[in-house]
Amino acid sequence: MKKLSMYCISMEPNHLKTIKELNYIPVGLGEKSFSKEWMKDNIGKNITFKNKYYGEYTFHYWFWKNYLGNTEDEWIGFCQYRKFWSLQNISKDLLSLPKLRNLALKEIPDEFNNYDVILGDSMSINNLKVMKFLKRGFKLIFKKPSYLFDKNKRNIKFHFDMWHGENYLSEAIKLLNNEDRENFNNFVNTNTSFNPHNMFICKSSSLLKRYYETVFDWLQRCENIFGFENLSGYGQTRIYGFLAERFMPYWFKKNAKVTTLPIIFYDIKKDFN
């Protein structure tokens, strides 16, 4: 059985004990003071100053540039302090910290060895409640009323435009190479679900390196166009992380053999309130 190294990202130093109890590797992001027991993205070659805009991808950049070469023949996974991998799907209302300790993924079953990548279960994005849908997507619906009546038209692109600003995704797609430009454009315009949360587990460091090379080259091109100064609100400010979130499942499905696992939701922060 291949070893699993799971990197758990948090912005709170007091999460250390809980993360280590899961036998995960603690990753500290943000400006708070983290002990030496944490991996941090602000040493070596880094873009930690972009965390506000890139989210967890500042750690992925650090991991790529400073640590990926140290990984062995192992599964490399990423989770967050409120989103965890599990073999069993369970509602967050039924979860407690003791249950999380039992349910959080500790090893990859042998039957997954035929796959290269594990993504989170697909999330449908066209089932918003009508009032929320109207509030968030009014401008888009006004331009194209069929969005209101045809759920199949509420695709990834529509969802992105609604939450993160119109046309950012379209402009970003233009910056991809020819093959990905066409294929990713088709992906976001024909799918009404995707594998979310920027979480994945990868069996090959060489495959992960290829992904990082592709996504960070693209994000830099996007940054050259969109910059930082004119981004407002959470949905736009962290746009580079959200662009990567949509691109990630597309890229792995195109370049690797992919399966899925549930992602369960438990915010370990509430145990420290």
The span from the CA of 192 to the CA of 159, in Å, is 9
pTM above 0.85, yes or no: yes
List, as one string, the DSSP characters of 151-213: GGG--HHHHHHHHH-TTHHHHHHTTS-HHHHHHHHHHHHH-SEE--TT-EEES-HHHHHHHHH
What is the average per-residue pLDDT within 112-138? 82
Task: Map residue 6 onto helix, strand or coil.
Answer: strand
The pLDDT of residue 24 is above 60: yes
pLDDT by residue (tens digit) across 145-165? 666 667 788 899 999 998 899
103 vs 270: which has the higher pLDDT? 103
The pLDDT of residue 101 is above 70: yes
Task: Map residue 74 onto helix, strand or coil.
Answer: strand
Which 8-state DSSP code applies to residue 75? E
The per-residue pLDDT for 260 is 98
Mean pLDDT score across all residues of the chain: 93
Sign of CA dihedral 38, 41, 43, 44: positive
Using an 8 Å Cβ cutoff, are 62 and 48 in contact?
yes
The per-residue pLDDT for 131 is 62
